[in-house]
Structure 1
Amino acid sequence: MEQLVQVVPDEGGVRVIVCGGEFDQDTLGLLKEAGTAAVEDPGVRRIVLDVTAVDFADSRCST
């Protein structure tokens, strides 16, 4: 399955990152980029990670 990492436009200081597909240690790049950008943005007060479309996540992933 194709991997999805989509950032929804901010609303009221909330950044929503939507993820779909399969994630493991080798495929975390886009998610890391989106998360880092959200953390470093001073206008973001809350980060919501929507994983309802994630089919697989390797529990041995490290950041």
Structure 2
Amino acid sequence: MIQLSDSQRAILSAACARERLEAGDIILAGGATAAHPLSPGMHVRSLTQGPGAVSFVVEG
């Protein structure tokens, strides 16, 4: 049995969806950190080098 890494699965998924991959494309295969549960009222903000920031408040 062949086991694929998350990166290999992401590339295979893109290929199966018939998406065209170009040199330099970035494929995200998962989170950089472990997932954490969110609770109502929590404010989440992410800062990135390129696009800037995105934020949201969890409702519920």
TM-score w.r.t. length of structure 1: 0.23
Which is bigger in relative contact order (C-alpha 8 A, separation at least 6)?
1
Choose between structure 1 and 2: higher helix proportion. Answer: 1
Whichever structure has more strand as a proportion of its residues is 1
